[in-house]
């Protein structure tokens, strides 16, 4: 259990690290960010920073010596980096989680073994396997690279079998997973937290709308039945327990309907704080960032409750951040600008959260 004044090391220096550091400060905890990029936006708000490559073992050793415990803001931490650090200080969540969540195929197998439903899928390592996979999952389907894909990168939709070769070329014949395309009713996520004592707290189910594969809005309450919301939270709880996880995890799901009943299929899990949980900063009694810091510090988790009758988070992508002034004069609206400098297309530059007062 960390004492006030302790320092948490964070790998990665983007907006997630920035918001983690901002949540740590009121708890009397300091953050030290490690990032290969000197312009990382988290550096603006932290106690200490290291600019060095993830492969720089001497810098990693100095970083580990300077902090009390280590966490990360992204799932693609190189395995070697995590191993070097874990030898010196505790890394939370445990790096074994990364081996699973860095690879879409291993992740889907892990979820399926828990008897939790996903889209139908098949591994693809050759053109022949792609044809076999299409016969199994059917068209339309989505071909996704097993590693390093995000926000729609490394993905190709296959509307009919004749498009398979073009899709295989577009992902540069990298090892892939083929997924059946789900005609979902809506997309939701559950932000779950698990403490070092095994306590699990889930935030309310959040409804997410993507635009061009990037999260556009997150809204609570989600338009789902009470039974579906319970199922979604149960699924997320089972996943964090199966990992023996400590910290915050984002679990993205599709809501599908069979007859009158709604069900969830797990799409993806993120072993970190998640964009669809940003609404919790202004719209809940505790934020996902504070919850993660509490878990990493070995402190008890808080019981989260929504504030207001509705909360909506809107991402500011690219130069949308230049129009932020109009939100400053809107009532019950919180503005978050990440301080990333020049906006570029598809880059997450900030977000705004609107809270509708009342029950």
What residues make contact with ligand AMP under the rule CB under 6 A?
119, 142, 149, 152, 179, 181-182, 187, 210, 213, 252, 267-268
Where are the extended beta strands (E) located within the chain? 7-11, 30-35, 48-51, 69-72, 121-124, 141-145, 155-158, 176-180, 186-194, 200-202, 206-211, 214-220, 247-258, 261-270, 310-317, 333-337, 348-356
Q: Which is nearer to ligand AMP, 68 or 252 (CB)?
A: 252
Task: Measure the CA–CA gap between 340 and 338, rounded to whole angstroms.
Answer: 6
Nearest approach, Cβ of residue 22 and ligand AMP (Å): 26
Nearest approach, Cβ of residue 104 and ligand AMP (Å): 7
> Among all chains, which residue has been given the structure tokens 């799901």?
253
Q: Which is nearer to ligand AMP, 96 or 213 (CB)?
A: 213
Nearest approach, Cβ of residue 258 and ligand AMP (Å): 16
Q: Which is nearer to ligand AMP, 152 or 318 (CB)?
A: 152
Q: Which is nearer to ligand AMP, 62 or 216 (CB)?
A: 216
Question: What's the gap between Cα 22 and its chain centre?
Answer: 18
Quote the crossing angle between the two packed helices 15-24 and 288-297, to the nearest 10°: 70
Nearest approach, Cβ of residue 189 and ligand AMP (Å): 9
Task: For CA atoms 219, 269, 300, 291, give the dihedral sign.
Answer: negative
Q: Which is nearer to ligand AMP, 163 or 179 (CB)?
A: 179
DSSP 47: S
Nearest approach, Cβ of residue 220 and ligand AMP (Å): 17
Nearest approach, Cβ of residue 187 and ligand AMP (Å): 5
Task: Measure the CA–CA gap between 147 and 154, rounded to whole angstroms.
Answer: 9
Give the residue among 200, 190, 208, 202 at the shortest CA–CA distance from 251: 190
How many CA atoms lie within 13 Å of 345's alpha carbon, on the beta-carbon side? 1
Question: What's the gap between Cα 175 and its chain centre?
Answer: 23
Give the residue among 35, 52, 55, 53 at the shortest CA–CA distance from 44: 35
Task: Measure the CA–CA gap between 186 and 180, rounded to whole angstroms.
Answer: 16
Q: Which is nearer to ligand AMP, 8 or 119 (CB)?
A: 119
Q: Which is nearer to ligand AMP, 64 or 105 (CB)?
A: 105
* Phi, then psi, of 56 in degrees rounded to 5: -80, 95
- Coil vs helix vs strand at 38: coil
Nearest approach, Cβ of residue 325 and ligand AMP (Å): 30
Q: Which is nearer to ligand AMP, 267 or 288 (CB)?
A: 267
Nearest approach, Cβ of residue 153 and ligand AMP (Å): 8
């Amino acid at each position: 259990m960390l004492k006030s004044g302790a320092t948490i090391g964070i790998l990665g220096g983007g907006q997630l690290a920035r918001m983690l550091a901002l949540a740590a400060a009121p708890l009397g905890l300091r953050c030290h960010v490690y990032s290969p990029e000197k312009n990382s936006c988290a550096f603006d708000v932290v106690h200490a920073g290291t600019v060095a490559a993830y492969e720089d073992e001497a810098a990693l050793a100095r970083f580990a010596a300077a902090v009390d415990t280590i966490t990360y803001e992204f799932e693609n931490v190189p395995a070697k980096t995590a191993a070097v650090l874990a030898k010196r200080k505790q890394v939370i969540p445990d790096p074994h989680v990364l081996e699973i969540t860095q690879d879409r195929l291993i992740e889907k197998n892990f979820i399926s073994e828990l008897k939790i439903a996903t889209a139908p899928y098949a591994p693809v390592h050759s053109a022949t396997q792609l044809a076999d996979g299409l016969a199994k999952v059917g068209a339309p389907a989505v071909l996704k690279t097993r590693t390093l894909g995000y926000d729609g990168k490394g993905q190709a939709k296959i509307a009919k079998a004749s498009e398979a070769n073009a899709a295989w070329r577009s992902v540069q014949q990298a090892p892939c997973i083929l997924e059946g395309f789900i005609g979902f009713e809506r997309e939701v996520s559950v932000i779950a937290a698990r403490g070092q004592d095994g306590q699990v707290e889930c935030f309310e189910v959040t409804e997410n709308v993507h635009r061009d594969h990037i999260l556009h809005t997150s809204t609570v309450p989600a338009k789902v039945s009470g039974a579906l919301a319970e199922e979604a939270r149960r699924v997320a709880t089972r996943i964090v327990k199966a990992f023996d996880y400590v910290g915050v995890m984002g679990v993205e799901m599709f809501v599908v309907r069979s007859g009158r009943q709604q069900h969830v299929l797990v799409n993806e899990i993120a072993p970190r704080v998640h964009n669809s949980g940003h609404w919790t900063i202004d719209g809940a009694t505790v934020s996902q960032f504070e919850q993660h810091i509490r878990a990493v510090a070995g402190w008890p988790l808080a019981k989260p409750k929504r504030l207001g009758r509705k909360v909506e988070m809107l991402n500011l992508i690219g130069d949308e951040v230049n129009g932020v002034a109009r939100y400053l004069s809107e009532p019950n609206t919180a503005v978050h600008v990440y301080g990333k400098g020049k906006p570029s297309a598809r880059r997450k530059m900030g977000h705004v959260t609107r809270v509708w007062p009342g029950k």
